[in-house]
Structure formats: C-alpha cells, structure tokens
Amino acid sequence: MGNRSAAAWREKSRAFLEAHPVCETPGCGRLSQHTDHVIPRSFGGTDEDKNLSAKCAHCHGRKTIRERRGDAFGFAYGSER
C-alpha cells in the first residue's frame, strides 16, 4: 500500500478530479466531488490512477455502503480475506 502524507493525497485527489470532472458511475453525470479507490487501500488498493474513480457524493456514498455490506467484492470489511 505504501505510506503517503495527507497533503500528497489531497493534491493527487485535486488533480484527479480536475482531470475527471464528471462522476464516472455509469448513467450518473453529476459533477465529481470524491476520488474513490476502486479497490480500497485497506484491501491492497493503490493510489495509482488505474485504481481511482471520480464520484459524486451520492454515488460515492452508495458504493461505500455496498462495500461495507460486502456486496462490492464478495466479502465484508473486517472479514478474513
């Protein structure tokens, strides 16, 4: 996963959202507000662009809920991998 400073992440996220101004959830079309990790860092995801997705607040919240329930990856946070 690697360590990163909060300031470095804020800059990376700002630049990513500038390059991806519209939510990348299919059919959404709202302005993006969050840089989402496709594979969460807690499950080995990286900060590489290929693991990032621009999301509006609504879609990011829905994805987070699905992940915590285990719907997104077939396992729940805190369960054994």
Res 11 pLDDT > 70: yes
**H helix or E strand, kind and range, residue 6:** helix 6-19
Average pLDDT over residues 4-13: 93
**H helix or E strand, kind and range, residue 55:** strand 52-55
Q: What pLDDT digit, counting tens, does each position of 36-81 carry?
A: 999 989 889 999 999 999 999 999 999 988 888 877 665 555 444 3
Please indicate, yes or no, whether the overall pTM of this predicted structure exceeds 0.85.
no
Distance CA 11, CA 74 (A): 32
pLDDT of residue 75: 52
What are the residues facing 36 on neighbouring strands?
A: 53
Angle at 20 between CA 31 and CA 6, to 5 degrees: 95
Q: Quick one: the chain helix, strand, coil %, rounded to 5?
A: 40, 10, 45
